[in-house]
Amino acid sequence: MSEQAVRQRSDRQPDWRRGNVINDGVRLATFELGDSSNPTVLLVHGWPDTHHLWTHVAPRLAEKYHVVAYDCRGFGESDRPRRTGAYRLDELADDLFAVAEAVSPDRAVHVVGHDWGSIHTWEAVSRPRAQTRIASFVSVSGPNLDHLGQLLREQIASPTPRHLRNIAAQSLSSSYTGLFQLPLIPNVALRALGNPRAWKQFLRTVEGTPPENVVVADSLRRDMITGLALYRANIRQKLLRPNPRITNVPVLQVVNERDVALRPAIYENTPTYAAKLWRRDTPTGHWLPYTHPDYLTDLVLDFLAVQTNSGAPAPTIDRSRLFSDPKPLAGKLVVITGAGSGIGRETALALAARGCELVLADLDAETADETARECKIAGATAHAHRLDVSDTAGFTEFADKVRTTHGVPDIVVNNAGIGLAGGALAATDEQVDRLLDVNLRGVITGSRAFGRQMVERGVGGHIVNISSAAAFTPSRSLGLYSASKAGVLLFSESLRAELAEHHIGVSVICPGLVDTNIVSSTPIAGLDADDERARRERLDRFYQRRGFTPDRVASEIVSAIEGNKAVVPVTIEAKVGYRIYRFAPWLSRIGARQKVTG
């Protein structure tokens, strides 16, 4: 989104209808939008925010719903109890129920909570009272502290290297909460940070939040200091004596993978305690209502459509439903070209095992269907399409269809490719054109079409392009093929740099000798039909004896996605060849003169 668009949106303040709700002598300032006859959506902020956090979210929600935000006790225009004990989660949950009953006495409310607003909504939905008062809950950047305390207990009791890494990482991210327990010192620090300009600059520095999007109350400095009571009244008590309970309230948990304060690993055990759970992981930061308000609003609207039976489940919400423990990459939408066999099929199966939804494309529609069937057997949702990646217009139309039907993909694997061996001078123009159209132009088209969608959506993604060890292993017998794959390698490296600011990763995979059916279908320029067939059969047998199977490449692809790796040589010859070409290219040139096809 352009800076001008951000600035224009921040200038449009909601025309709130103001009110008050009293709970146990504490006055809570409320702010309403929309038709009160519609279902009510209750917006609950965290530290150090007020109802202003929802400035960019509430107006769109109010087009369909009765929207109510309120300043939690100790913040904004609400009362500020002086006792630390007044900020315990049970008191805050009582406030939530009091507001819900006042603004929607006859119907249960839908709650969207952020940060501490999410934390104390977890307390509310864990009570039996929630069954009649809370219809659904969208949790953003805020864990259930009882769940977290129980998770830490279990991991400390049975530590593994992964558990220890997660504990160490979260402890580092949460170190500020220890500071907040101290007397006086945090108060002094927050007096400086509580200047609105300083706070906006802080959010920009830690998460890239556009300052124009941050709307704060005049009481920001006072809110920061009063809000320290949230940490002092709850953190130690809940982590040391957790009381996790099961909730039957439908929950959408939005997990921000770049959250500076809360690591995704802390949500591991949520499915144990949430009977109706959806989860959406995105490469976004903590202050999602400021950084990506439209994306968050779309998620909330799609989730509410399911909960109110006011529309068909949106694809993003439909694939976010969790029925058991979350899997790596669960809920991601993946597009794979050349998915009918070999590396494409094995990659599809590997990602199906991780809970992804798959859009599988291949020139051979039957093989794409077969891959889709295998993925469905593995428990994944899969859709098969016929696609010729060399048809630029057709590929672009396919990308538009994916977006309309399934949504913007989170991961794209441009895998489709063909081979061409033999001398460059012997190849026909038609062979050269077909090779470059499929291997290079197809990758470029897929990367551009889906990359634009990812950039426009604004919450990141990942593109994987399949190159080859031939990209850095020159050979007199593979010059044209090497050229096409070298183009993929350098294009991918450049695209990675271009898309980094949008948090879109680009990985290029460079397999060596892998036993796939590409060898048996590779034309060899300059040979008659009989010699070409005999040479191809010898090569095919050699690749089979080599025994490096496509599933091992698929494993490297998944690892590249999870680790956002840039260049991944696969097989020992690829790894050696990559280093020789980088550090001793003259050896590569000597090897290139050998009369070997393959």
- In this predicted structure, the answer to whether residue 339 has a pLDDT above a threshold of 80 is yes
Q: What would the mean pLDDT of 417-432 be, rounded to a whole number? A: 90
pLDDT per position as a tens digit, 561-577 = 999 999 999 988 888 88
Mean of pLDDT over the chain: 90
Helix, strand and coil percent figures for the chain, each rounded to 5: 50, 15, 35
Q: Which residue reads 């509430």 in tokens?
A: 58
CA distance 131 to 247: 9
- In this predicted structure, the answer to whether residue 478 has a pLDDT above a threshold of 90 is no
pLDDT number for residue 216: 94
Q: What would the mean pLDDT of 316-325 be, rounded to a whole number? A: 70
Q: Which residue reads 């249960």 in tokens?
A: 108
Q: What is the DSSP letter of 437?
A: I
Contact criterion met (CB below 8 Å) for 308 and 40:
no
Cis amide prior to 143 (ω within 30 degrees): no
- In this predicted structure, the answer to whether residue 443 has a pLDDT above a threshold of 50 is yes
pLDDT number for residue 536: 64
Q: What would the mean pLDDT of 342-355 be, rounded to a whole number? A: 95
Strands 504-511 and 567-570: parallel
Amino acid, single-letter form, for residue 11: D
Which of the residue ranges 415-429, 478-492, 501-515, 576-590 would you say has the lowest mean pLDDT?
576-590
End-to-end CA distance of the chain: 47
Q: What is the DSSP letter of 90?
A: H
pLDDT number for residue 540: 60
Strands 40-44 and 66-70: parallel
Contact criterion met (CB below 8 Å) for 11 and 22:
no
pLDDT number for residue 1: 41
What is the enclosing helix (H) or strand (E) of 527?
none
CA 417, 422, 424, 429 dihedral sign is: negative
Amino acid, single-letter form, for residue 503: H
Using 50, 70 and 90 to split pLDDT, how confident is the model at 537? low
What is the enclosing helix (H) or strand (E) of 336?
strand 333-337
Q: Angle, to 10 degrees, between the axis of helix 479-499 and the axis of helix 429-436?
A: 30
Using 50, 70 and 90 to split pLDDT, how confident is the model at 6? very low
Q: What would the mean pLDDT of 71-95 be, rounded to a whole number? A: 97
Contact criterion met (CB below 8 Å) for 496 and 509:
no
202 burial class (0-12, 13-18, 19+ CB within 10 angstroms)? middle
Contact criterion met (CB below 8 Å) for 98 and 338:
no
Strands 461-466 and 357-362: unpaired
Angle at 504 between CA 198 and CA 266, to 5 degrees: 65
C-alpha distances (whole Å) from 123 to each of 61, 97, 145, 233 are 24, 11, 9, 14
Share of the chain above pLDDT 70, in %: 91
pLDDT per position as a tens digit, 101-141 = 999 999 999 999 999 999 999 999 999 999 999 999 999 99
* More confident call, 9 vs 312: 312
C-alpha distances (whole Å) from 327 to each of 207, 249, 265, 320, 324 are 26, 22, 12, 11, 9
Tokens of 558: 């998944």
- In this predicted structure, the answer to whether residue 290 has a pLDDT above a threshold of 80 is yes
481 is catalytic: yes
Q: Which residue reads 């279908």 in tokens?
A: 521
pLDDT per position as a tens digit, 488-530 = 999 999 999 999 999 999 999 999 877 566 666 677 766 767 6
Q: What would the mean pLDDT of 374-387 be, rounded to a whole number? A: 94
CA distance 71 to 54: 11
- Among 126, 164, 167, smallest CA distance to 148 is for 167
- In this predicted structure, the answer to whether residue 379 has a pLDDT above a threshold of 70 is yes
Residue 285: CB atoms within 10 A of its CB come to: 22
pLDDT number for residue 590: 81
What is the enclosing helix (H) or strand (E) of 173?
helix 161-173
- Among 339, 350, 441, smallest CA distance to 384 is for 339
Q: Which of 65, 273, 481, 578 is catalytic?
A: 481
- In this predicted structure, the answer to whether residue 546 has a pLDDT above a threshold of 80 is no
Domains of the chain, start order: 3-322 (3.40.50.1820), 333-592 (3.40.50.720)
CA distance 289 to 61: 13
pLDDT number for residue 10: 46
- Is 399 strand, coil or helix? helix
Contacts with 498 (C-beta within 8 Å, 6 or more apart), sequence order: none
CA distance 553 to 232: 50
CA distance 283 to 256: 6
- Among 418, 510, 402, 512, smallest CA distance to 464 is for 510
- Among 8, 57, 62, smallest CA distance to 36 is for 62
- In this predicted structure, the answer to whether residue 311 has a pLDDT above a threshold of 90 is no
